[in-house]
Amino acid sequence: MQSLTLPLLVILGLTITGYFLAKTRALQVAGGDIRKLVSLPKQHALNTVLATAIPPLAAIVLFSLYRRLAEAEGSWLFTLVVIALAVTGFALSLIGIKTESRARTFAERWIMGLLIFASTIAIMTTVGIVFSMLFETFNFFEQYDWRDFFFSANWSPNFRGNSDLGILPLLWGTLYISFIALTFAVPIGLFAAIYLSEYASSRMRSVAKPAIEILAGIPTIVYGLFALVTVGPFLRDYFASPMGLGQSASSVMTAGLVMGIMLIPFVSSLSDDIINAVPQAMRDGSFGLGATKSETIRQVVIPAALPGIVGAILLAASRAIGETMIVVLGAGAAARLSLNPFEAMTTVTVKIVSQLTGDTDFASPETLVAFALGLTLFVITLGLNVFALFIVRKYREQYE
C-alpha cells in the first residue's frame, strides 16, 4: 500500500499541472489567436491529462496483478517505471502541442480505450468466476475421488478427515425445494399475468401490478426471516405435527412455499410481457369465430406464448436453484434423501455457506468441496439460463 502513495501523488500532481500548462502552451503556440489552432486549448489540456494518467495507472494495475502471480515484492524499480511513464506522457503531449496537431482525435482515442476496457470487465468477471472455481475444484479432486463426489448418496463432512462428500442428497434437496416453489409460483404467477393482461381494468392493473412487483424488490433475507419466524412454526403446528409427518419447523415445504412467494412476481412479470407481445389480430380472429375470452386465451394466446412462458419458467427455476438465504434460514442443515416434504433437508447453496464460513482451511477437502459445489451450481444455472434465453429470443423473432 505504502509503495503506491508516491507514484499516485506524482501522477496527480502532473495531471493537474499538465492541464494548465497545456492550455497556456496551446495559446502561446497560436500566438494568442485561438483561430489558428486546429484543436481548442481545452482539448489539448484533456489530451495531456489522459496521456499523463492512463499509462502509469495501467502499469500499476498490471504490475499488482503480476506481483500476486509471481509473488514478487514491490520495488523502487517499479515506482521509477511508473513515474517515468507519467513524465514521458506529460512531456510528449506537451511537446506535441502545435497549431495543426489534432488533440481532440488523440484525446478521443484515449477515451475510446477506457470505454473498451470498461466493457471487458463483464467478460473478466465471468472468466474470474470460472477460473477461480475451476482451480480450487481441481485441487479438491486431487484429494477426493470425483466419482464419490458425484455418485455418493452420503454427505457427512468431518473436519478431522475421512468425510463423505456426496453431492446427491444436496442436489435432491435443491431440486425438491425448487419443485415445490415452482408448483406454487407458476400457476399463481401465470394466472395473475393472464388476469392482469386480459381481464383487469386499467385501474386494477395500475394497483395490482406494482403491488406484485413489491414482492420482487424485497431482499431474500426478509423472506428467509419470514420462513424462520412465521411460516416454519405455522406449518409445523398446523400441518406437520397433526399429520404425524415431523416436528421440524425448517422443512422442504417451508422453504419451498416461501421461495414460491418470491418467484410469483418473477413469473408473472415475464409472462405478462410475453402475453402482451402476442398480436391482437390473433385474439380478434378467435373472437370472430365465436370463442369466449377464456377459450381464446387457452387455445390461442397461451399456445402462441408457450415458448416464452417456458423460457420464463426456466429462468425462475434457475433463480430457485441458486437461491441461498431462504434455504439457509428455512430448509435446515441435515443432508438427507427423503420424500417427506415436512422434513428438514439441505441444498447445495446451504452447504457452500456452511463450508466457507467460520474456520476454513483451504488445503482440506471439507473446505474445497464448496468450490466444486459452486461450480456445479454455476454450470446448472448457466445451462438453464442459456437455454431459457435462447427460447425467449427465438420466440420474439416470430412476431417482430
Partner 1 sequence: MSTSLLTTDARTKKRNAAEARFKAYGLGAIIVAMFALVILLTSVLGNGLSSFKQTFIALEVELPEDKLDKSGVRDLAVMSKVTTIGYAPILRNALLATLAEQGIETELSNKEISNMISKEAAATVRNRVLGNPDLVGQTVRFDVLASGRIDGFFKGRVTMESAALDNNTSPEALEIAQALADAGIMQTKFNWNFFVWPDASDQRPEAAGIGVAILGSLYMMLVVLCLALPIGVASSIYLEEFAPKNRWTDIIEVNISNLAAVPSIVFGILGLAIFINFMEFNQSSPLVGGLVLTLMTLPTIIISTRAALKSVPPSIRDAALGVGASKMQSVFHHVLPLAAPGILTGTIIGLAQALGETAPLLLIGMVAFVREYPAAFTPESGLFGEASTALPVQVYNWTQRADPGFVERASGAIITLLVFLLIMNAVAIYLRRRFERRW
Interface of this chain with partner 1, residues 42 to 101, rule: CB under 8 A: 64, 68
Chain length of the chain? 400
> Per CB under 8 A, does 196 bind partner 1?
yes
Three-state secondary structure call for residue 204? helix
> Per CB under 8 A, does 276 bind partner 1?
no
> Per CB under 8 A, does 208 bind partner 1?
yes
Smallest distance from the beta carbon of 198 to partner 1, in angstroms? 8
Smallest distance from the beta carbon of 111 to partner 1, in angstroms? 6
71 burial via Cβ count (<10 Å: 0-12, 13-18, 19+): exposed
Q: CA-based angle 352:354:355, to the nearest 5?
A: 65
Q: Which is nearer to partner 1, 94 or 316 (CB)?
A: 316
| Neighbour-count burial for 4-35, b at 16+ CB within 10 Å, e otherwise | eeebeebbeebbeebbebbbebbbebbeeeee
Give the contact letters, 288-307, x = binds to partner 1 (CB under 8 A), - = no. ----xxxx-xx---------
> Per CB under 8 A, does 372 bind partner 1?
no
Interface positions, 215-254, toward partner 1 (CB under 8 A): 215, 217-226, 228-230
206 burial via Cβ count (<10 Å: 0-12, 13-18, 19+): exposed
Task: Measure the CA–CA gap between 306 and 370, rounded to whole angstroms.
Answer: 37
How far are the Cα atoms of 182, 214, 264, 381 from residue 313, in angstroms, in the given order?
8, 20, 11, 13
Instruction: Name which position in 322, 332, 341, 365 contacts partner 1 (CB under 8 A).
Output: 322
Q: CA-based angle 293:298:302, to the nearest 5?
A: 115
Q: Phi first, then psi: give them for residue 120, nearest 5 degrees.
A: -85, -10
Interface positions, 169-188, toward partner 1 (CB under 8 A): 187-188
Instruction: Name which position in 178, 248, 268, 286 contacts partner 1 (CB under 8 A).
Output: 268
Smallest distance from the beta carbon of 91 to partner 1, in angstroms? 25
Instruction: Name which position in 17, 139, 338, 381 contacts partner 1 (CB under 8 A).
Output: 381
Q: Which is nearer to partner 1, 21 or 297 (CB)?
A: 297
Three-state secondary structure call for residue 102? coil
Give the contact letters, 334-353, x = binds to partner 1 (CB under 8 A), - = no. ---------------x--xx
Smallest distance from the beta carbon of 211 to partner 1, in angstroms? 6
Binding segment for partner 1 among 75-83, 147-155, 263-271, 305-313 (CB under 8 A)? 263-271
- Helix, strand counts (H, E) of the chain: 16, 2
> Per CB under 8 A, does 12 bind partner 1?
no
Task: Measure the CA–CA gap between 33 and 49, rounded to whole angstroms.
Answer: 23
> Per CB under 8 A, does 394 bind partner 1?
no
> Per CB under 8 A, does 371 bind partner 1?
yes
Instruction: Name which position in 6, 34, 61, 111 contacts partner 1 (CB under 8 A).
Output: 111
> Per CB under 8 A, does 135 bind partner 1?
yes
- C-alpha cell of 352? 457452500
Q: Which is nearer to partner 1, 20 or 117 (CB)?
A: 117
Instruction: Name which position in 114, 153, 289, 306 contacts partner 1 (CB under 8 A).
Output: 114
> Per CB under 8 A, does 309 bind partner 1?
no
Q: How many residues touch partner 1 (CB under 8 A)?
A: 91
> Per CB under 8 A, does 386 bind partner 1?
yes
Specify which residues 164 forms β-bridges with. Answer: 156
Q: Phi first, then psi: give them for residue 201, nearest 5 degrees.
A: -70, 160
Task: Measure the CA–CA gap between 293 and 38, rounded to whole angstroms.
Answer: 68
> Per CB under 8 A, does 287 bind partner 1?
no
Instruction: Name which position in 66, 146, 199, 399 contacts partner 1 (CB under 8 A).
Output: 199
Interface positions, 151-170, toward partner 1 (CB under 8 A): none
Smallest distance from the beta carbon of 65 to partner 1, in angstroms? 9
Contact assessment for residue 318 and residue 385, using Cβ atoms and an 8 Å cutoff: yes
158 burial via Cβ count (<10 Å: 0-12, 13-18, 19+): exposed
